[in-house]
Amino acid sequence: MATNKQIVDYIEGTVRQFIYNRWPRLLKSTLIKEYEERKDKAQDCLMNGECLHCGCKTPDVFFTTRGCLKDEPCYTELKTPRSWILKLLLIILNVVRKQK
């Protein structure tokens, strides 16, 4: 029997996949970028049609907030806008340091 979290993950992934297939402009570009990265990182699961670890349907599972559930995950949880800003700031800081 599925847990409440699994049900929420299923709905979240399926709805986002539906929107992506029909109206991709409605989704944030950062979400689409992470979705594409997840698809690249989990090619075995994508080709199988479901996650080899948890059995969730692919590519829908790549749109869920949670990350891969394996001990050595294929991908992490979706980043929040705050974490994207921090990542950008670190990139800028590294560029500035290299210029010195």
Domain edges within the chain: 4-99
Give the Cβ contact number of residue 75 at 10 Å. Answer: 19
Give Cβ neighbours of residue 9 (< 8 Å, ≥ 6 apart): 56, 61, 64, 65, 66
User: Which pLDDT belongs to residue 4?
Assistant: 83
Identify the residue with better confidence: 43 or 75: 43
Q: Give the Cα separation of 40 and 34 in Å (integer).
A: 10
Q: Which residue has 């394996």 as its token pair? A: 70
Which secondary structure element, helix H or strand E, spans residue 41, and what is its range?
helix 29-41
User: Which pLDDT belongs to residue 15?
Assistant: 92
End-to-end CA distance of the chain: 58
- Give residue-wise pLDDT tens across range 57-98: 889 888 888 888 878 888 878 777 677 677 778 888 888 888
